[in-house]
Amino acid sequence: MAPRFKPESLVLAVCLIGLGVIWTLGNMGRIDTLASLRTWWPASLVLWGLLELVRTFGESRDRRPS
């Protein structure tokens, strides 16, 4: 049986990657760290919501009789 899909784990991983990228670019002088974090942090909620939708549709399709 395939492991169960967990949206929150995926969100946490993507957020950590995003935070690291923004912070690195900030330290390199390419972007303003605080301004970028302020702009992009709500995107983590959007990403999480989308993944929850994907999971819900996936589960309802699995329960439908073939």
Partner 1 sequence: MKASKIGLLILILGFGGTVETAWRVRNHVGGFPRFWFDKYGGPSFRYENAPEVRTVAAGTALVIENRHGLVSIKQAPGSEMRITLAKVVYLPTDEKAREFAARVNLVATDQAGRLHVTTNRHDVENSARDVGFETHLSITVPPGTPVKVDSEHGRIEVSDVASAELSGSHEEIRVERVAGPVTIKGRHDDVTVSTVTGALRAEVRHGRVEVKDIDGAATLDVDHGSISAERVGGLVISNSHGDVDVAEVKGDLQVVARHSGISASRVAGRATVETSHNDVNLDEVGADVSVKVDHGGVRVEDVTGNAKVRTTYNDVTLTRVGGTTDVEVKHGGVRAEGLAQDAVLRTTGGNVEVDGFRGRMDVVTERAGVNLVATAPLTAPITVRTSNGDVELDVPAGSPFGIEASARHGDVSANVSQLAFITNEQSRIVGQLGTGGPAVKLDATHGNVRVREKTALAAQQNP
Which residues of the chain form contacts with partner 1 (CB under 8 A)? 6, 8, 11-12, 15, 26-35, 37-38, 41-42, 44-45, 48
Residue 42 vs 65, nearer CB to partner 1? 42
Question: How many angstroms separate the CA atoms of 43 and 49, rounded?
Answer: 10
Residue 5 vs 30, nearer CB to partner 1? 30
Residue 4 backbone class (left: φ over 0; alpha: ψ -120 to 50; beta: rest): beta
Question: How many angstroms separate the CA atoms of 48 and 10, rounded?
Answer: 8
Residue 52 vs 63, nearer CB to partner 1? 52
